[in-house]
Structure 1
Amino acid sequence: MTLVAVGLAALLLWDALGWDLAVVRLFGDARGFALRDHWLTAGVLHQGGRWMATGLAVMLLVNAFRPLWPGLSRRERWGAVALTAVSLIVIPLIKQGSTTSCPWDLAEFGGTAHYLSHWRFGLSDGGPGHCFPSGHASAAFAFFSLFFMLRRAYPTQARFALIGVLVMGSLYGLAQLARGAHYPSHTLWTAWICWTIAVVASRLMMRPRPAPPAVAPGVEPVSASAI
């Protein structure tokens, strides 16, 4: 939970300093965003990212029914499926209620909206909204579940899975930033929300069941009906 608290403090500092707009201006101008429809950002990293997420989700489902890692318990396998599903549901729900518009909707980039912090609740920026946090980044960060699923029985693979998810999420976030689809904080908040969900939910969904009490050799366990 320490990492959750540190991450929250860093995100609040980022917002307080107003760095979102400054970073976005590095990629766009009055003509818009040159990389909005680029084959790498819009094709490989955006559309391809969706296919990658679909593949990982299918893998988790297959693993739930028929273990790809023999050392995992049923609770861990199904917990990872549930944890991923929760993240993939929560982020779009938050987006649906958000009044924040995407960078490409701002007037200075050819749109109609005016920049407002996503914490200015109840105020409209004049654009279509529904842009905070980053839904595309959740296609990577929802799979923090892989780390929590593997860390007991396969700690080395768990670390590699965590690194892979972080790299994948960072690439997705960078692509959406370059396209003008999201501010940096949108991706960072998605990572924080998904990680927080994973930390909390893993304790409920993947906690190993307590082992039955040991019985001394030659001693028959006493059943409840015999008492």
Structure 2
Amino acid sequence: MLLAATVGWDLLGLDMAVMLHIGTPTGFPLQDNWWLSTVLHDKLRLVAQLLFVVMLVWASWPMRTGGLPRRERWLLVGLVVASLLVVNLIKLNSRTSCPWDLHAFGGDARYVSHWLLNVGDGGGGRCFPGGHASSAFAFFALCLPWLCPPSGSQRSRAPGWRWLFLVLTVGLVAGVTQTLRGAHHPSHTLWTLVICMGISIVGWAIGQRWLQARPQASAQAGKP
């Protein structure tokens, strides 16, 4: 449903319709707003970095914590890193410029769909998908151990729903912040969520097969 809604948003060309209501021919009035640029951008990114450090400590803890074995915790760390890497690799190779670089808002670039991969817009590019939103959406995997537990595991779903709500809320706040500042189109946030969700869900499914295979292999190796 999320993928269909995101594709539909692109097909209807709603990005510029939204941005034209936010920006002016001379720029975006909220671009340097203190709450948006300092609190909800700089400080929020710092919080995400601290959360990742805490996650590394959690994954390294030798005893079972949070009801999850250590190998499962390290799988979550790997999925967070994979989500961040993919989003940033796409950004580095994107020719899509930020809305505040567009001619309609006082810049030099012209609007070109991010799906026209080989067409430059005259700007600096590297603005698709949303990097700031990925600082929250990359943690989507944290909900999966409880919402999609390994086969045979009995776990309460409540922690998973709490993580899902937190990740989606913070990610959307981060995305809306950048849209109001003129840094990203709304679709950039939607596609960031699609990418991070896709990597997390597929990686979790593959990882579970690997985790379940390891104990079986160890048990067979211990047989005389």
Distance 1:51 1:27 in 2: 27
1:46-82 residue CA offsets vs partner (Å, 9 max, x unmatched): 0011111112101211111126834201221001100
Q: Partner amino acid for 2:43?
A: G
Compared with structure 1, are the counterparts of its residues 74 and 126 closer, same or farther at alpha carbon in structure 2 (3 Å cutoff)?
A: same
Aligned runs of 1:148-187 on 2, under 5 Å? Answer: 148-151=144-147, 152=149, 153-187=155-189
Aligned runs of 1:36-185 on 2, under 5 Å? Answer: 36-66=31-61, 69-151=65-147, 152=149, 153-185=155-187
Compared with structure 1, are the counterparts of its residues 158 and 29 closer, same or farther at alpha carbon in structure 2 (3 Å cutoff)?
A: same
Distance 2:188 2:88 in 1: 12
Q: How many corresponding residue pairs? A: 211
- Structure 1: 4+ residue segments shifted above 6 A: none
1:184-205 residue CA offsets vs partner (Å, 9 max, x unmatched): 0000000000000000001122
Query: Counterpart in 2 of 1:209?
Result: 212
1:92-130 residue CA offsets vs partner (Å, 9 max, x unmatched): 100011100000000111100010100112111111111
What's the offset of the Cα at 1:224? 5.3
SS of the residue corresponding to residue 122 of structure 2 reads coil
What's the offset of the Cα at 1:26? 1.6
Distance 2:43 2:193 in 1: 19
Query: Counterpart in 2 of 1:200?
Result: 202
TM-score, normalised with respect to structure 1: 0.87
Structure of larger gyration radius: 1
1:137-175 residue CA offsets vs partner (Å, 9 max, x unmatched): 000000002112344334211110100000000000000
1:200-227 residue CA offsets vs partner (Å, 9 max, x unmatched): 0011224552676xxxxxxxx9x854xx
SS of the residue corresponding to residue 97 of structure 2 reads coil
Compared with structure 1, are the counterparts of its residues 70 and 183 closer, same or farther at alpha carbon in structure 2 (3 Å cutoff)?
A: closer
Compared with structure 1, are the counterparts of its residues 183 and 173 closer, same or farther at alpha carbon in structure 2 (3 Å cutoff)?
A: same
Q: Work out whether residues 141 and 201 of structure 2, in 8 Å CA contact, stay in contact via their aligned partners in 1.
A: no
Q: Partner amino acid for 1:109?
A: F
Gap regions ≥5 residues in structure 2: 150-154
Distance 1:128 1:68 in 2: 47
SS of the residue corresponding to residue 21 of structure 2 reads coil
Distance 1:58 1:68 in 2: 18
Which among 24, 43, 46 is matched to residue 19 of structure 2? 24
Distance 2:57 2:64 in 1: 8
Gap regions ≥5 residues in structure 1: 1-5, 213-220
Compared with structure 1, are the counterparts of its residues 106 and 81 closer, same or farther at alpha carbon in structure 2 (3 Å cutoff)?
A: same
Q: Partner amino acid for 2:25?
A: A
Higher helix share: 2
CA RMSD of aligned residues (A): 1.9
